[in-house]
Amino acid sequence: MCITAHWIDNEWIMHKRIINFCPISSHKGEDMANEIMKCLRDWGLDKIFTITVDNVSSNDVTVKELSKIFTKRGINFMNGEHLHVRCMAHILNLVVQDGLKVSAVSIERVRKAVKYIRLSPARCKRFQECCEDVDINCKKSLCLDVSTRWNSTYLMLNRAIEFENVFSSYVARDIGLLHYLQFVEDEDGKDEHGSVVGALLSDDWDNVRKIANFLQIFYDLTREVSGSHYVTANSHFLKICEVSCYLKQLISSEEDKDDLLGKIASNMREKFDKYWGTPKKMNKMIFISCVLDPRHKFVSVGFALQMMFGKEGPILENGVRDYMDLLFGEYVKSLSKDKGSQHSSSLSSSSFENSSSLLSSSGSSVQSIGCLGTFMGDLMKHKAENTTTVKTELQKYLAEENEVESKNFNILSWWKINSPRFPVLAEMARDVLAIPISSVASECAFSTGGLILDSFRSSLTPKLVQTLVCLQDWIRSDARPISVEEDIDVLEQLEQGKDILIRIVLIVIVNSH
């Protein structure tokens, strides 16, 4: 099991660290929850904002058990309503996989042709000669996909399209390819189309190009949401809405109604609705993080909700507003406890009722001075009566104009500059924007683990493996390594646990292999 911690520090720099990489004895939710709690206790972490996991049933149980434990310890922020974050990349994988179940036989023909050529060095050399014959000077080679990874299917098709003319030339040189496609069954067994798929036709290449273009959208999206060193939470909901509208467009389009892409989109829509069909199935933080992007706020959230859910959009938007008010109120209370009652009074929203009473009392004392005092007292009363209620930070933030869209816009830099104006909202943004919407950061650690646990080092103890994996990740992640001589004050603060105001978001990923 690998656990990574994600947070935004006081300088508005995003961090990711592996804090656990250890073997587990059971994949039961309760057992995994206990292992995670042990890790948190070892690190002294008691402010957990969210936990991002893959969409496995045991993970649902794990998060529920953790929520119960946090509640008992009094550290379950907002009663754990937004604790469970589902990996967006994993959901996209499930959605696309369902769509490819109805893919045309064209994909199978390309897959089988690629497999035939790659089976023999002599065939690969002959294929390279065909490339030279059709004036294709390309150092790239054909790649074969893995059936359980749709992104590898996309890469295979995308590469094969570059060599479309080469395949035609190759068939003329090697009659064995045509025979293999038409008569030879794969040893792997038959799929839904059968393993004897027939020769590659021009229509097959048209279908493959359509599917590759279709998959590229999801390939680019998956890469975009899989980052761990930049903010991804703010675009989570908008990306979901973009996919929803795209699938809806393909399904409802008259000219594509019976087309291959229409059938793929229909299949994908069923899986999409399972996870994102209603707002109740979504973590509320995906809306809040979008609102905390000064380019979007409720203008974008309201529009996206209406595009996805039609007439229910405005009602759902009001629900998001209510939840954000509650969340903001919790931060006001939390910071009030941490910084004392004096700071609490400056953070809390208030009306002018108290101010009015103070002004009226001061006015009455001024009135005793004479006629000038009477005028000033009346003026102060008039001002108090015509002054509106003081706005909270959240209200001020939402009332301001949205920032202009820009490719170079840095949301963390914006909050760093504006945090003095919105101190409470800034604390909220630091927690919400740190949420990773995919578990790729943790999954990558297993690749590292595989390099460490090679055949020559298989005798390493689990504790030593954890040390190597974590230490490597921390060294690579720290752009400013600590100098013991120069940063003694920083080390003392860390040792005394003073730097513990930040809520941590976790990614937990379990490898069953």
Would you say residue 436 has pLDDT above 70? yes
List, for residues 458-496, the tens digit of each pLDDT value. Answer: 667 788 878 888 888 887 776 555 554 556 665 566 555
List, for residues 82-140, the tens digit of each pLDDT value. Answer: 999 999 988 998 899 888 877 668 888 898 899 999 988 999 888 888 888 887 777 77
The most confident of the ranges 68-82, 256-270, 345-359, 376-390 is 68-82
Please report which helix (H) or strand (E) contains residue 494, including its range.
helix 488-496
- Cα separation, 487 vs 162, in Å, equals 55
Mean pLDDT on 346-369: 40
Q: What is the pLDDT of residue 191?
A: 46
Q: What is the pLDDT of residue 373?
A: 57
Q: What is the pLDDT of residue 177?
A: 86
What does the DSSP assignment read for 178-206? HHHHHHPPPTT---TT-S------HHHHH
Q: What is the pLDDT of residue 50?
A: 94
Q: What is the pLDDT of residue 192?
A: 45
Lowest mean pLDDT among 12-26, 310-324, 382-396: 382-396
Place of tokens 């074969």: 144
Mean pLDDT on 272-288: 90
- Cα separation, 394 vs 422, in Å, equals 8
Mean pLDDT on 328-343: 74
Local structure of residue 392 (DSSP, 8 states):
P
Angle 220-226-232 from CA coordinates, rounded to 5° = 100
- Cα separation, 50 vs 434, in Å, equals 10
Q: What is the pLDDT of residue 281?
A: 85
Paired tokens of 74: 């009094």
For 69, 147, 183, 221, 504, the CA distances from 84, given in Å and listed in that order, are 14, 29, 50, 22, 13
List, for residues 299-323, the tens digit of each pLDDT value. Answer: 999 999 999 998 899 999 999 999 9
Phi-psi group of 76: left, alpha or beta (phi > 0 → left; psi -120 to 50 → alpha; rest → beta): beta
Q: What is the pLDDT of residue 56?
A: 85
Q: What is the pLDDT of residue 480?
A: 54
- Cα separation, 298 vs 319, in Å, equals 12
Would you say residue 64 has pLDDT above 80? yes
Residue positions counted in the chain: 513
- Cα separation, 398 vs 236, in Å, equals 20
Nearest to 63 by CA among 90, 93, 86: 86
Q: What is the pLDDT of residue 445?
A: 64
Question: Burial, 23: exposed, middle or buried (Cβ in 10 Å; 0-12, 13-18, 19+)?
Answer: exposed
Would you say residue 358 has pLDDT above 70? no
Lowest mean pLDDT among 229-238, 315-324, 401-410, 444-453: 444-453
Would you say residue 166 has pLDDT above 60? yes
Q: How confident is the model at residue 12 (pLDDT cuts 50, 70, 90)?
A: very high
Lowest mean pLDDT among 358-362, 387-391, 407-411: 358-362
- Cα separation, 129 vs 496, in Å, equals 68
Q: How confident is the model at residue 327 (pLDDT cuts 50, 70, 90)?
A: very high
Q: How confident is the model at residue 25 (pLDDT cuts 50, 70, 90)?
A: confident
What mean pLDDT value characterizes the chain? 81
3-state SS of 308-372 is: HHHHHHHHHHHHHHHHHHHHHHHHHHHHHHHHHHHHHHHHCCCCCHHHHHHHHHHHHHHHCCCHH
Place of tokens 């994909």: 107
Largest CA distance in the chain: 113
Give phi and psi for 8, each to the nearest 5: -115, 125
Q: Which residue has the higher pLDDT, 198 or 191?
A: 198
Q: What is the pLDDT of residue 504?
A: 79
Q: How confident is the model at residue 500 (pLDDT cuts 50, 70, 90)?
A: very low
* pTM, full prediction: 0.77
List, for residues 31-49, the tens digit of each pLDDT value. Answer: 999 999 999 999 999 889 9
Q: What is the pLDDT of residue 455?
A: 58
Q: What is the pLDDT of residue 322?
A: 94
Would you say residue 498 has pLDDT above 50? no
